[in-house]
Amino acid sequence: MRTEIPAALQDDPDIATMDAILRKCVHCGFCLSSCPTYAVTSDERQGPRGRIYLLKSLIEDGPGNAPGIQASIDSCLSCLACASACPSGVDYQHFIDLARPRLEEAAPRTPMDRLTRSLVAFILPYPRRFTMALALARLAKPFKTLLPARLRAMVDLAPNRAMGKILSGDHDFPGGGLGRIGLLTGCAQQPLRPSINAATIRLLNRMRLDVVVRDGAGCCGAVVHHLGRGGESFAAARVAAWDRAGPLDAIVANAAGCGTHLKDYGVVLRGTKDAGAGARIAVLARDVCEVIAQYELPPVTRDDLPRIVYHDACSLLHGQKQTEAPRTLLRAAGFQTSEAAGKHYCCGSAGSYNMLQPEMAEELGRRRAAALEASGAQVIATGNIGCLEQLRRFTHLPIVHTVELLDWATGGPPPPELAMRS
């Protein structure tokens, strides 16, 4: 793609990066068939190629047309299916990440937009704030029709169950000294599904791996980063927390979106004093299934396991290119696995997307849930808290994290979602 970057911007390193990415695009359109929002709308502006053109015009022509671009960029899930489909290697992930903060500066938002996005950034990355917000949302459900549409969508997303206990402070969980693994405890996952961290610790300990938790190693910063609000301070705080942990063999993320962002810390922190440390963290970052596959799964202790269908979280499939390890581990643990059509399509969670774009998120969630149910499986397995909470709204099947199933099959307790239905 030919570009004409204004002279005043040519010394900007971010613009230089975006320009290099743009020049790789050959207009082929392979990305369109992979894009969930384009599949729903058939609108070029709701597909990767259209978004690239619109952002190209923002760079070349200035901020005058930014308000017209904003809706198209906001509708992007950052699922990265387009990057997997692109034959030219267009780095859409970093292109859209660099573009969002510029668009925020160029196009003032409506008061309601500013309110909802500020609420997400203020609440979601902080487990205690999020726990309080979920409690308030449950109280507000009987009155949700009185709320604006965006706030009503947030209330709808809150589960009716009580929230779990947050894992805070410094903890060391010895497992036998075979390896020393840091655990990223996460943000929204902690109150929503504390069983995931608990299962991760039990399973890794059973594999003779020591697990290290450090205060401050919570939210990775992906939520605010994808809102176009930077996120460098979150990444820097995680770096400081892991510096206190001492030598580690790996840093595990059991939320796929967190793992993808953690592996990108070298880019997120580029140009800051923490750039080198961020790059070291990125090298250590692993999805939990990567670490389990690297060592040896404990002996299987059950033979009454349900038939499952595996849902690929976009951040694992497209962001981390991890698709076989979870399936291989589940089969090794004795689960019969099914496949669902359209595995490259997003379920519509995408971090805070289902709060900010509720209509599109609901359409995508219903489509994905229907495909998973059609597989004939008894349980849905996935590796991302966002997918778990999104899909539970649209299916009668229990949805369980991969690591909970692996823990259960090798001596741990049944996942709460299955225990409640037994």
Please, what CATH class does the domain formed by 7-106 belong to?
mainly alpha
| Residue 175, pLDDT score | 95
Q: Which residues contact 152 (CB under 8 A, 6 or more apart)?
A: 144, 145
Residues 298-302: contacts with CB under 8 Å, at least 24 apart: 298/203, 298/206, 298/207, 298/410, 298/411, 299/410, 299/411, 300/332, 300/333, 300/334, 300/409, 300/410, 301/409, 301/410, 301/411, 302/334, 302/408, 302/409
**Residues 205-242: pLDDT tens digits?**
999 999 999 987 778 889 999 888 877 888 888 888 88
| Residue 146, pLDDT score | 79
Domain 301-419 in CATH 2.40.30.10 = no
Q: Where are the domains of the chain?
A: 7-106, 301-419
**Residues 30-53: pLDDT tens digits?**
999 999 999 999 999 999 999 999
| Residue 422, pLDDT score | 59
Residues of the chain with pLDDT under 70: 162, 421-422
Which DSSP letter does residue 32 get? Answer: G
d(CA 403, CA 253): 11
d(CA 269, CA 240): 13
| Residue 162, pLDDT score | 67
| Residue 152, pLDDT score | 80
CB 399 within 8 A of CB 382: yes
CA 412 to chain centre: 26
Q: Which residues of 175-194 are buried (b: 16+ CB within 10 A; e: fewer)?
A: beeebbbbbbbbbbbbbbbb
Which DSSP letter does residue 91 get? Answer: -
CB 81 within 8 A of CB 314: yes
